[in-house]
Amino acid sequence: MSELILKMKGIDKSFVGVHALKGVDFDLNKGEVHALMGENGAGKSTLMKVLTGIYAKDSGEIFFEGQEVNFQNPKESQEAGISIVHQELNMMNHLTVAQNIFIGREMMSGKLINDRKMNEEAKKLFEKLNIEIDPSETMGNLTVGKQQMCEIAKAISKDAKLIVFDEPTAALTDSEIEELFKIIRDLRAKNMGIIYISHRMDEINVITDRVTVMRDGEYVGTLITKDCTKSDIINMMVGRVIYEDPKQKSNVPADAPIVLSVKHLNAGKMVRDVSFDLRKGEILGFSGLMGAGRTETARAIFGADPIESGEIFVNGTKIEIKTPQDAVNAGIGYLSEDRKRFGIIVEKSVAENSTMATLDKFTKGLFIDKKKERTESELYAAKLKTKTPTVETAVVNLSGGNQQKVVIAKWLVRNCDILIFDEPTRGIDVGAKSEIYHLMNELAAQGKSIIMISSELPEILRMSDRIVIMCEGRKTGELSIEEASQASIMDAATLRN
């Protein structure tokens, strides 16, 4: 019999206008990796925040190591042995690795911080986890994957008995994911309890023992991983059919006009002699491995990074793009892969974010017409099925998928004819992905033209009419959707020249 380390019973939590958790049950055994899954907004993060004392529950019971607990803040839950490795890492890039691991509980020699001692202890932690990282290295010099390993080491250093991994692989390479999984398996072998939150369905079967699914703030059910299929989990998560089939043929007429033509574009080391055309109503997929130069190409076209040479034509007219405003004026909208940094202002409302690219449309003299702004943003919130109590709600309170819809609304309000979607479904669940796929197809059917950059080959094959492949800053292939396959894309993605 496995020994329970955590039991949550009937957890209820409400905020103004939102019943976030409705009598949720969850339990975790020692030496178990238990996946917690659900669409964005299902209540997963809220449940973990209740567990760790960030939110106070309205009702229900929490038992940790057999004792009923009611943590008042994260410090209390950490002292009890519960740690979270967050999706968005909370590291101080200017400090060393060791200083980050022991921040707030530094080792002292008298009144001075003992860096040597902290380096020694960090090194022991890394050896315990079979990680090769120099404790004296500056944190900002590490890859995201290595920074994540440091976050795990930090959790272990606090004598954690239970670790919550929140979307741990969202920004990792395949080799870094393998390293992470080795660490998780090692922690499981040491009888630690692990809660694993992820939207990546393929990982669940590889690393977890059980899966609990939530939907709309409620507990749906728990499955034993080895006894269930991907379809079982998806059906529980969304309660509706999700289409996954690749596109069989292009929806773009052969004589569709070219709306964007990029010729011999050069911009830094990652954009070298890139040329392509985009047709009206087309979804042009951009594929390639990490570091291929896809995002850098998009940023150059949008004026976010300087262009060294090359030409850009919109509807047959050559244009000079030196700033993002130049691109926007030419009818180009850009949805960055880093939506929180470049796409939205999280402290502002849904309405304010939706209209920020078109403020002149809502301005009367020196003042913004708030009524008009609200009406327009409500229209697009309804059109995109954005889950928000009102359009006056701050974007920070929305789930990742709904934040992405706000970014899309911003460019739809602007009525851009050319849209660049950079990793449009990164970090969002399968249900929200499906909604964004439907939306992109609708936009293309209306005559909008889309460049879609994606690291997920199934997504590229599902959505694209045509595919451009890049490797090390150069275009190394172009395929029609009829001739494309995962193998042919990967061949071109590894074709260095």
Amino acid at 294: R
Residue 479 pLDDT level (bands cut at 50, 70, 90): very high
Q: What is the pLDDT of residues 303-362, one digit of tens each?
A: 999 999 999 999 999 999 999 999 999 999 998 876 666 778 888 999 999 988 787 788
Structure confidence at residue 289 (pLDDT) = 77
Structure confidence at residue 179 (pLDDT) = 83
Q: Between 17 and 351, whose confidence is greater? A: 351
pLDDT of 90 higher than 80: no
Mean pLDDT of 94-122: 93
The answer to whether the beta carbons of residues 214 and 37 sit under 8 Å apart is: yes
Burial of 4 (0-12, 13-18, 19+ CB in 10 A): middle
As a whole number of angstroms, the distance between CA 277 and CA 190 comes to 55
As a whole number of angstroms, the distance between CA 261 and CA 384 comes to 29
Average pLDDT, the chain: 89
Q: What is the pLDDT of residues 18-57, one digit of tens each?
A: 789 999 999 999 999 999 998 767 889 899 999 999 999 9
> How far from chain centre, in Å, is Cα 73?
26
Structure confidence at residue 17 (pLDDT) = 72
The answer to whether the beta carbons of residues 310 and 268 sit under 8 Å apart is: no
Give me Rg for the CA atoms of the chain. Answer: 24
**Which of 257, 312, 269, 262 lies closest to 286 in space, CA to CA?**
262
DSSP for 18-55, please give it.
Answer: EEEEEEEEEEEETT-EEEEE--TTSSHHHHHHHHTTSS
The answer to whether the beta carbons of residues 400 and 39 sit under 8 Å apart is: no
Residue 102 pLDDT level (bands cut at 50, 70, 90): very high
Structure confidence at residue 497 (pLDDT) = 52
Q: What is the pLDDT of residues 414-456, one digit of tens each?
A: 889 999 999 888 767 777 788 888 889 999 999 999 999 998 8
Least confident of 65-79, 135-149, 464-478: 135-149
The answer to whether the beta carbons of residues 259 and 315 sit under 8 Å apart is: yes
Going by the DSSP 8-state scheme, the letter that residue 356 receives in this structure is G
**Which of 389, 447, 391 lies closest to 418 in space, CA to CA?**
447
pLDDT of 212 higher than 90: yes
Residue 240 pLDDT level (bands cut at 50, 70, 90): low
pLDDT of 210 higher than 90: yes
**Which of 206, 209, 177, 178 lies closest to 192 in space, CA to CA?**
209
The answer to whether the beta carbons of residues 127 and 146 sit under 8 Å apart is: no
pLDDT of 233 higher than 60: yes
Mean pLDDT of 400-418: 86
Domains of the chain and CATH, by start: 4-238 (3.40.50.300), 258-493 (3.40.50.300)
